[in-house]
Amino acid sequence: MVESSILVLNKQIKKLGNASSLHSAGRSVRKDLETAREELAAAVGCDASEIIFTATGTEANNLAIKGLFWKGAKANKKVIITSTFEHHAVMDPIVWLTEHEGAQVVGISVDRKGFIDLAELEEVIEKYHDEISFISIMHSNNEVGTLQDIAQVVKMARDIPVHSDCVQSFGKVDLSFKKLGLTAATISAHKIGGPLGVAALILKKGLDIEPILHGGGQERDIRSGTFNTPGITAFAAAATDAVENRKERELKVRELKKELIQTIKKNVSDIVVNADQEKSLPGILSITFPKTDSEGLLLLLDAEGIACSTGSACSAGVQRPSHVLLAMGLSEDETTSTLRFSLSYTNTINEIARLGSVISSVVARSKSASGKK
């Protein structure tokens, strides 16, 4: 967590009072919560009333996806448009809706560079327009980092609600809910140096959707439950810090990524860098190491004190090919030879040099053990 977020969390956690209570202690906590809501709204470019606090990005995605579908289904709109390489927090609730609520899903394909096919999207919108409940396209992909043209998606959608998972993008690149014209967006605290266990759904004001949780009626009666005020105030502090320092940090991280690519290429000549690096997040990098086993590579690098992943952390421990890479056209063998590296502004050139000093031997050992030809 960033220092400002830690300080706010430590201060707020010592404060007694439930933000929904009317006594003085409760009102004091409520004031802190609403101040945080305004700060977060300023950071993400929306009205304070459009923020609905949740526990996780997964919850916020579920709330948006199921809520928008149920609203559309009342008007017999049961078609959902999404991409073929969304995060599981988007994919899985959509699959659930097909299995339990009669939803019909149309997946928009992506190319080898990691971009959705906008021409295909336009054709699908024209074909199903009056039947579409909503469109959900992630702002940036969590495994390969590509940034989608969400403003163009919204323009093409016209009057169709558009949701976007912006968890990876918020605080890393320029992002404004109002400028994009979205109906709903998901953001999360831990991706910007805030605490785990707090996130938000940004939902256009005046729009009511069916809640998943029923109870006390908090958050426009859309997300009931006692407020995690310490987490929320720390989230706002982290968001303010991230947005205020974004340009400087983004520039630094992009330079670190260039150095990382060059360092790995210098030591392992046959690597393949996946996705377009010109239109991508500053700190996400997907690299295929041919004829290796990605899980073996991960463990060998971990033994050297270098952390990376084989895909989304939310799918860690699940031995299956990455649906993201498969959707981009990689073979199953290529997906199981691919690692995902994440960089932040706290990383250093020396850490990249450390990776460079071991990557050649690590890859050689993995190739020897993998049995791939």
Average pLDDT, rounded, for the chain: 95
Share of the chain above pLDDT 90, in %: 94
CATH number at residue 286: 3.90.1150.10
* Final residue belonging to a domain, choices 244, 264, 284: 244
> Is the same domain home to 288 and 159?
no
Residue range(s) defining the domain that contains residue 133: 3-244
Tell me the pTM. Answer: 0.94
> Is the same domain home to 21 and 129?
yes
> Is the same domain home to 202 and 265?
no
* Final residue belonging to a domain, choices 244, 266, 299: 244
CATH number at residue 57: 3.40.640.10
Q: Using alpha carbons, select from 123, 140, 153 the residue that is nearest to residue 283.
A: 140
> Is the same domain home to 240 and 253?
no
- 292-330: per-residue pLDDT in tens? 999 999 999 999 999 999 975 555 455 678 999 999 999
> Is the same domain home to 30 and 158?
yes
> Is the same domain home to 70 and 198?
yes
Residue 263 has pLDDT above 90, yes or no: yes
CB burial string 12-42: b at 16+ within 10 A, e below: beeeebebeeeeeeeeebbebbeebbebbbe
> Is the same domain home to 223 and 291?
no
> Is the same domain home to 239 and 299?
no
Provide the pLDDT for residue 320. 77
User: How far apart are the C-alpha atoms of 182 and 45, rounded to whole Å?
Assistant: 11
Q: Looking at 46, 166, 308, 314, which residue is catalytic?
A: 314
> Is the same domain home to 235 and 258?
no
> Is the same domain home to 32 and 51?
yes
> Is the same domain home to 90 and 207?
yes
> Is the same domain home to 54 and 122?
yes
- 23-44: per-residue pLDDT in tens? 999 999 999 999 999 999 999 9
Share of the chain above pLDDT 70, in %: 98
Q: Using alpha carbons, select from 137, 34, 27, 128 the residue that is nearest to residue 91.
A: 137
As for how many domains the chain has, the answer is 2
- 242-256: per-residue pLDDT in tens? 999 999 999 999 999
Q: Is 308 one of the catalytic residues?
A: no
* Final residue belonging to a domain, choices 184, 219, 244: 244
